[in-house]
Amino acid sequence: MPDRIIDTSGLSCPLPILKAKKMLTGMAVGSVLEVVATDPAAPADFIAFCKATGHTLIESVSADRSYRILIRRA
């Protein structure tokens, strides 16, 4: 169960990453953010984002032209 959810549907790169980064900054270490995105590049973008920032990509699931991405804050 995520601690916070952010819907970035309709936004293209880099906006989903920037909005998630801003949200994660205000969250406690170990908390989970769910990102909902429609940008087809989002799954790969969030893999790279997590590698670069040290956050943990818990899950990335696609369904009906959208993506649900769960990130644990480092």
| Region of residue 26 (phi > 0: left; psi between -120 and 50: alpha; otherwise: beta) | alpha
Catalytic residue among 4, 6, 11, 13: 13
Strands 32-37 and 66-72: antiparallel
13 is catalytic: yes
Return the H-helix or E-strand segment holding 46.
Answer: helix 42-53
DSSP state letter for 29 = T
Catalytic residues: 13
